Amino acid sequence: MNIKILDGGFGAQLSTRVSSKIDGDPLWASRFLATNPDAVYATHLDFLRAGADIIETNTYQASVSGLMKHLSITKEESINLLHEAVNIAKRAVNDYVKEIRGNNDIENKNPMIAGSCGPYGASLHDGSEYNGTYGKTTSRETMIEWHKSRINAFVDAGIDLLALETIPCYQEAEAIVELLREYPNVKAWLSFSCERNSQNIVDGSNWQEVATRCYKMALPEQIVAIGVNCVAPKDVTPLLKNVNKGTGNEFIPLIAYPNSGEIYSQSEGWVKNESPSVSFESFIPEWLEFGIRYLGGCCRMYAENIKSIREEVNNFKKKKEAEMD
């Protein structure tokens, strides 16, 4: 069973290295690509040292148009900054590989880089990325063009795959998959933003129906996994448990990288939603049974959490091996 460990919430880990405000900024952590690239590099290294097989570029909130607007730079400079985001991640990976050379106990010997592509709604700064309402009013062509400029920059810079993440509406998901077909040699995962205590995307669509439809729309094996991110850990199971249930169905690899369970409020910042009755790690065995093959953390999940995830995955593998003996 090949399980890839992802990194965690970039802004959360970055906050341990900088004193400047991150949350609520129009560019969030992406601003630091321009203002403090050394901290971005160090944050990537934190996750690699914690055991991440895949790190994401610090670009969730960074679109070409968004960088132009909020950094007052040209289109060319914005594209160059996206290239630099990939280069910073590459430098962290290269230095990490040198650092671990000769250490046979290290598991993530060949880390990969995913280009982080947040939803179109995040660029609107009106909260619509939390409900996906823009899917009904924004043309497919507009969303495709917006995503295309960033994807082009990532492909040109040599990312290993794309993280198409936190998608809140079915219209955008389908538009992205349509766009992805223009890049037959590029692989990606597709991850959705979903309602709490529900089986739906935040726009009200059924997650399993939309996700599996998008998976089948893509070129064969182009989407490496479908799943959810930035949901509370307790909400992962209801969403993913039935995708690979039963026999005779095509196995679909799944991805999950939940947040800490806290909720972000513009007025209050991060607010604890409820006291978890069980730990994040206790969910992992059942998630792996569902078919999760990519597992990590999102908002408010630090490098130490990624280390715990890898340990729990290893415990699961050992248990399975023992059962087979």
pLDDT at 276: 53
207 — alpha (psi -120 to 50), left (phi > 0) or beta? alpha
| Total structural domains within the chain | 1
pLDDT tens for residues 215-240? 999 999 999 999 999 999 999 999 99
The pLDDT of 41-45, averaged and rounded, is 98
Quickly tell me which residue has 């065995």 as its tokens: 285
pLDDT band at 247 (very low <50, low <70, confident <90, very high): low
Q: Residue 96 above 90 pLDDT?
A: yes
pLDDT tens for residues 142-158? 999 999 999 999 999 99
Please give the single-letter amino acid code of residue 43. T
pLDDT at 64: 97
Quickly tell me which residue has 């070129």 as its tokens: 219
Question: Which region among 55-69, 120-134, 199-213 has the lowest average model confidence (pLDDT)?
Answer: 120-134
Q: Which residues are annotated as a binding site?
A: 230, 298-299
Average pLDDT, the chain: 93
* More reliable by pLDDT, 138 or 126: 138
Domain at 95, CATH number? 3.20.20.330
pLDDT tens for residues 170-195? 999 999 999 999 999 999 999 999 99
Q: Residue 160 above 90 pLDDT?
A: yes
State the Cα–Cα distance between residues 233 and 143, nearest whole angstrom: 29
* More reliable by pLDDT, 77 or 263: 77
Q: Which residues are annotated as a binding site for Zn(2+)?
A: 230, 298-299
pLDDT at 266: 55
Q: What is the pTM of this model?
A: 0.94
Q: Residue 264 above 80 pLDDT?
A: no
> HEC states along the chain?
CCCEEECCCHHHHHCCCCCCCCCCCCCHHHHHHHHCHHHHHHHHHHHHHCCCCEEECCCCCCCHHHHHHHHCCCHHHHHHHHHHHHHHHHHHHHHHHHHHCCCCCCCCCCCEEEEEECCHHHHCCCCHHHCCHHHHCCCHHHHHHHHHHHHHHHHHHCCCEEEEEEECCHHHHHHHHHHHCCCCCCCEEEEECECCCCCEECCCCEHHHHHHHHHHHCCCCCEEEEEEECCCHHHHHHHHCCCCCCCCCCCCCEEEECCCCEEEECCCEEEECCCCCCCHHHHHHHHHHHCEEEECCCCCCCHHHHHHHHHHHHHHHHHHHHHHC
pLDDT at 93: 98
State the Cα–Cα distance between residues 152 and 149, nearest whole angstrom: 5
Domain of residue 292, residue span = 4-324
